[in-house]
Structure 1
């Protein structure tokens, strides 16, 4: 057990603080450096190593099936940093996330580009609900809502919620309260809500995506990674 997190696969990277994970999606070196200010250790998922190197960062581990890792990038990385996971039942994001034991992971380069890749990333957040992870997108942050989270949102800031499975929630600090709503795909979502001030959301299942402004990265990371943060249990294997 590492800081209350139990690995469901053999761990490769272990840390007591936040860790940055970089993927091969749409992101900039500035995005990566923003993440590294809060989570200075860098791990790459397969082709995400190219973005890390372009930003002047040598990832301490590269995890994946290496189908998108160019020969040039591979030659630039010490062999001891390369961790080949050959199975094809999971994405590189899931391969990497399940092998990082940390209070919270900041993920850069897992949004934008192909829609199927983005959907797969959101699927991974739910599959790995016991591993808090926040995605940095071009316009907002995305993460799976924990059992309870409070954030210093400001009046009129857009807060969107989208269910990946049936789920209910309660809230304070939102213009349209979540109480009494039965969220489910194709039934009820919560996009384009907005804050009336500081916000608290309580959720009954690991199935609700939250999207909040990028300026909240530090508070989100602090809330998800706090020692006393409420977490979802590991899914049965």
Structure 2
């Protein structure tokens, strides 16, 4: 049995496997630094693994509340240590394990580790998924940075001089306060103008007119980003049709 059954519901009709009232930690099989595991576990109570991401949890002695994916990278020695009722295979090959996991959880925020670093093609697929599930609040962190899909508005008390990069995966516009180079009157688009290596002058406020913009800030701003999403004041984009 799941140690806290009210956290886990298998709702196959709408695709939800894990539901939590608090933030969920999500682990991938990519690069995870020596401090990343505790960083996540100290901030969440529910943990989910995307396929091979279960290994770092199992090896640490913390069993995942659910493992979601096609299981092509879940080693049998790890799988055998996880109760069957926590294993949720999704066999189709049209999506990544990160996609499968993100679409299968419901929480006010997902905090992801092990999805940045190593293979560039995997990172690009992850970033594409962040924008695809525009109605989900998900924050990923890597060795140096925190990455998230910009909600309609967000305010971040990050240190002056910190890098704030804005990279569009769709055509977007918006306005800003606290950036050295404001984004008013700009059209950001993936084959046009992008906003990398901007800098904070003071508390940064972003108001974005539509979905599709990735925001990258230093790793040490993780708690500020989490607090912003958990405040309930950022808003969320509606789910994409279809």
* TM-score class, shorter: over 0.9
Structure 2 equivalent of residue 103 of structure 1: 108
Q: For 1:163 and 1:229, how far apart are their aligned partners in 2?
A: 18
Q: Report deviation, 1:55.
A: 2.9
Q: Report deviation, 1:151.
A: 0.4
Change (3 A) 1:156 1:8: farther
> Residue 140 of structure 2: which of 119, 135, 140 is its match?
135
Q: For 1:226 and 1:28, how far apart are their aligned partners in 2?
A: 28
Q: For 1:168 and 1:115, how far apart are their aligned partners in 2?
A: 27
Structure 2 equivalent of residue 160 of structure 1: 165
Query: Is the 1:9–1:98 contact (alpha carbons within 8 Å) kept by the matching residues of 2?
Result: no
Q: For 1:212 and 1:219, how far apart are their aligned partners in 2?
A: 10
Q: For 2:188 and 2:75, how far apart are their aligned partners in 1?
A: 42
Q: Report deviation, 1:158.
A: 0.7
Q: Confirm or deny that 1:215 pairs with 2:220.
A: yes
Q: For 2:22 and 2:13, how far apart are their aligned partners in 1?
A: 19
**What is the Cα-based RMSD across aligned positions, in Å?**
1.4
Structure 2 equivalent of residue 171 of structure 1: 176
Query: Could you state the TM-score of these two structures normalised by the residue count of structure 1?
Result: 0.94
Q: For 1:224 and 1:182, how far apart are their aligned partners in 2?
A: 25
Query: Is the 1:29–1:54 contact (alpha carbons within 8 Å) kept by the matching residues of 2?
Result: no
> Residue 154 of structure 2: which of 132, 136, 149 is its match?
149
Query: Is the 1:29–1:55 contact (alpha carbons within 8 Å) kept by the matching residues of 2?
Result: no
Figure out how many residues of one structure are paired with residues of the other and give that number: 231
> Residue 67 of structure 1: which of 62, 72, 78 is its match?
72
Query: Is the 2:22–2:109 contact (alpha carbons within 8 Å) kept by the matching residues of 1?
Result: yes
Structure 1 equivalent of residue 56 of structure 2: 51
